[in-house]
Structure 1
Amino acid sequence: MALDMLTGPDAGELLEAALSTAGGHLEDWRVTQVDHRGEVTTVAYQATVQWPSGRTDDVLGASSLAPEDEPPQVPGALTLSDGENRVCVWRLPDDPGLPGLTTAMQAPALTELLRSFGINPGGLRTDLVSYRPKRRAVIRISAAGGVIYAKVLPPGDVEALHRRHEMLYRAGVPVPHSLGWTGDGLLVLENLPGTPLRRRLTSAEAALPDPHDVLSVLDRLPTAVLGLNRRRPWSRRAPQYAELIGHALPTEAERARQLALVVAAGLKDTDLGSDPTHGDFYEAQLTVDHAGRIVGLLDVDTVGPGCRADDLATALAHCEALALSSPRHADRSYAMSRLWGPVFEQRVDADQLRLRTAGVLMSLATGPHRVQRPQWQSATTRLLDRMEGILQNRS
């Protein structure tokens, strides 16, 4: 099976075979991310590679190919087969799904791009902020002209996201201003003011955002959002995520399935909603000023019509998940959940809010395995425990 081939002990042989064709020798490797969807599994690795020019720390990617898929014709991406499975392997920035990474991570191309936007490229430095193989990446770009961000997407998605940023920015939503986009999938965004809220949660003295301020950010989403594509909310995908948990952790398969059935039954007779929504609204998407006021909103890829209760449930579920996964965030995350929850329950139906919070937690319970967190099995179990507790405390 592709999942075992890409994450098991034999994965090193696969990576070595791919690197050796380019003159490299794999010295060490570890899985950093797993995305398992049906027939296709995509994995990211952190690797130490010895090249003729010296030793480097590299990010590698590999993705299985479905039987009907054609091997990608991308320089730097190599397709291998063991006679039963076919796998495409690459070294960053040669991701076959994200051609814009080459522009974003190679100085000559990026220098030219910055100049085209009127930005001084002197002292250019790039940092990979996040990377989901074949899906998206975020690059922080520092130069004499200031700090900006490049969001890398499949080329067919980038223009639509640029226009979404424009629409929200003109409506007064505190999103990053888009400077423009490129045909290979690069969206160039201005830096937001403030400090990421998640970073603030490590300080016991930092002010927490008032829940009414949180609601006001969502209230500023314009009605034009209702004309965008609808995205299925996290809460309604609980059965799908329960199945993923069952594949990764068979000992929790039945409990996850039963919890997902409770969520699905509670949502069965509810409509999808006609509110302007963010779609993935939680603390990592918000920046705040010194007083805890929200001054920035990130990642608007998911903005569209939906139900306000799903946005609020996502925020509360992430508070719970962050507290369970990060001891340095725990006290403030729980405090924020206690601060926000009662006010959110005045805005939307309290029982539905709790039900949807539990549903979002099911999606988050796949996270420890996806990012290969140490002791991910126990982390998954703790998230399911919390989900079970929320469902038992419904009114």
Structure 2
Amino acid sequence: MGLDMLTGPDAGELLEAAVSTAGGHLEAWRVTQVDHRGEGTTVAYQATVQWPTGRTDDVLGASSLAADDEAPPGALTLSDGQNRVCVWRLPDDPGLPGLSAALGAETLSALLRSFGLDPAGLRTELVSYRPKRRAVIRVSSAGGMLYAKVLPPEDVEALHRRHEMLYNAGVPVPHSLGWTDDGLLVLENLPGTPLRRRLLQPDGKLPQPDDVISVLERFPPGVLGLNRRRPWSRRAPQYAQMIGHSLPAEAERARQLAEVIASALKDVPLGSDPTHGDFYEAQMMVDSSGRIVGLLDVDTVGPGSRVDDLACALAHCEALGLSSSAHAERSYAMSRLWQPVFEERVDARQLRMRVAGVLMSLATGPHRVQRPDWPAATGRMLDRIEDVLQDAPRR
């Protein structure tokens, strides 16, 4: 099933068919997230549904199925004779069976008790959700605040072990209390303020570049034994294709920019440094002095090149400045603070090329989250990639 079928006007008929089968009536809907890949498309929706028990605001998901895909449990499968799609209502995501437990008071209370925590006054809040890929739930109770991370079941034990390795090495990651067979990982709350929130404070102190680098230097050698993940910068051609598919008017420009990036990285080794893999301001917690006291989302930790982590941090500064007027001034200031020191520690040309590569991946974001102005926002991201490539030092 094509992208248009899940995001265009016909998607309403699809959602109505699924909701009515469950006894409801779809009153309104909008796309909130699109994950379009070569093997298929997955979409999240915010919907208003009239049920026999009353009107609710629901999160719905839909995913295209290949002809030989089995119908997933927990979702309704629909077909028009040519295309097949599965549709579900949160928390019944077929790729995240632990989500129901993470949002269910009875099962979650029992899990907290098993950790010796008091579940009285239990409250849950869905912090983030990527259909079929992951979800994060903030859990508050008399026992304190925790976070439940929901993953495909086959991934959860490895992430728990990763947290253990880093935590025991002194990296300021959340301590993992444990995991369940259905994909639920329970993490302690970190101290500090999210760096992205600190950027909204005109006088709030920002991390110094040496502090940013020192966090990465704490990663233990055991990281090199984990699976290698291709860095964002090496996937620029793939993301350029995604941009071209969703925005044909920019297809050729995106392709040409990705070609420049790929050519610059073609003969460069992938590296053998312990890396975070997705290192940027939203993953960092800071104290009042701006020192980094927490680091989130270590799913991508593994062997790589330090320059890729530093490029990721700078690219996100640029992307945040382009996408949020509230963050722009401080985000650009942080980029100017970090970049000169980063360029002293790693090859300056490689850093700029990889910044451009990460920006290409981020240029798919406006469409993925369905920003109202996503075509123009995508164009501005491509403009910035051109600027970065133009300013890169020559060989």
**Length-normalised TM-score, structure 2:** 0.99
Q: 1 CA distance for matches of 2:295 and 2:39?
A: 35
| Residue 216 of structure 1: how far off its partner (Å) | 0.3
Residues 182-223 of structure 1 deviation map (CA, whole Å, 9 limit, x = unaligned): 000000000000000000101111001100000000000001
Aligned match of 2:14: 14
Matching residue of 1:40: 40
Which residue among 289, 298, 301 is the counterpart of 2:299?
Answer: 301
Name 1:283's counterpart in structure 2. Answer: 281
- Picking from 221, 227, 230, the partner of 1:229 is 227
Indicate which of 175, 187, 194 corresponds to 1:189.
Answer: 187
Aligned-pair CA distance for 1:394: 1.1
Per-residue CA deviation, residues 336-390 of structure 1 (Å, 9 max, x unaligned), is: 0000000000110000000000000000000000000110000000000000000
Aligned amino acid, residue 192 of structure 1: L
**Cα deviations by residue, 1:92-124 (Å, 9 ceiling, x for unpaired):** 000000000010011111111111111111111
Q: Tell me the matched-pair count.
A: 393
Amino acid at match of 2:267: D
- Counterparts in 2 of 1:212-223, with a 5 A limit? 212-223=210-221
Q: d(CA) in 1 for partners of 2:316 and 2:158?
A: 27
Q: 1:38, CA displacement in angstroms?
A: 1.1
Measured after TM superposition, the shift of residue 73 of structure 1 is: 2.4
Instruction: Give the distance between the partners of 2:332 and 2:297, measured in 1 at CA.
Output: 24
Other-structure match for 1:84: 82
Query: In 2, distance between residues paired with 1:38 and 1:224?
Result: 33
Equivalent residue for 2:94? 96
User: Which residue of structure 2 aligns with residue 70 of structure 1?
Assistant: 70
Range that drifts further, 19-28 or 168-177: 19-28
The alignment yields a C-alpha RMSD, in angstroms, of 0.6
Structure 1 stretch displaced more, 112-121 or 226-235: 112-121
Partner secondary structure for residue 370 of structure 2? coil
1:137 corresponds, among 135, 138, 144, to 135
- 2:342 and 2:67 map into 1 onto residues whose CA distance is 47
Amino acid at match of 1:246: G
Residue type matched to 1:350 in 2? A
2:199 corresponds in structure 1 to 201
Amino acid at match of 1:247: H
- Pairwise CA distance, 1:269: 1.0
Aligned mates of 1:117, 1:373 — CA distance in 2 = 40
Q: Which runs of 5+ in 2 are unaligned?
A: none
- Structure 2 matches for 1:351-362, cutoff 5 A? 351-362=349-360
Structure 1 gap ranges (5+): none
Corresponding position of 1:370: 368
**SS at 2:47's partner residue?**
strand
Which position in structure 1 is the counterpart of 2:253?
Answer: 255
SS at match of 1:264: helix
How many Å separate the matches in 1 of 2:71 and 2:244? 30
Task: Report what 1:57 is aligned to.
Answer: 57
Equivalent residue number for residue 350 of structure 1: 348
1:272, CA displacement in angstroms?
0.3
Distance, in Å, in 2 between the alignment partners of 1:204 and 1:377 is: 30
Aligned to 2:146: 148
Give the deviation of 1:248 after TM superposition.
Answer: 0.4
Alpha-carbon distance between aligned partners in 2 of 1:203 and 1:83, rounded to the nearest angstrom: 55
Q: Please give the alpha-carbon distance, in whole angstroms, between the structure 2 residues aligned to 1:110 and 1:242.
A: 42
Q: Deviations over 1:54-95 (max 9, x none)?
A: 111100000000122111122xx1000111110000000000
Render the CA deviation track for 1:215-274: whole Å, top value 9, x for unaligned: 000000001100000000000000000000000000000000000000000001100000
TM-superposed CA distance for 1:39, in Å, is 3.4
Following the alignment from structure 1 to structure 2, what is the Cα–Cα distance between the partners of residues 48 and 120?
Answer: 34
State the AA in 1 paired with 2:8: G
Q: Which amino acid aligns with 2:85?
A: V
One-letter amino acid of the structure 1 residue matched with residue 226 of structure 2? L
**Structure 1 Cα separation of the partners of residues 73 and 112 of structure 2:** 28
Per the alignment, in what secondary structure is the counterpart of residue 301 of structure 1? coil
Letter of the 2:49 counterpart: V
Per-residue CA deviations over 1:305-324 (Å, capped at 9, x if unaligned) read: 00000000000000000000
CA drift of 1:21 comes to 1.2
CA distance in structure 1 between the aligned counterparts of 2:296 and 2:347, rounded to whole angstroms: 26
Mapped to 1, the partners of 2:65 and 2:15 lie a distance apart of 16
1:159-170 equivalence runs, <5 A: 159-170=157-168
Letter in 1 for 2:331: S
Report the AA paired with residue 43 of structure 2. Answer: V
- Partners of 1:211 and 1:388 in 2: how far apart? 25
Query: Aligned to 2:299, what secondary structure does the other structure show?
Result: helix
SS in 1 for 2:158: helix
> Which ranges of 4 or more aligned residues in structure 1 deviate by more than 6 Å?
none
* Distance across 2 between alignment mates of 1:12 and 1:119: 43
| SS of 2:243 mapped into structure 1 | helix
* Farther off after superposition, 1-10 or 183-192: 1-10
Aligned residue identity for 1:227:
G
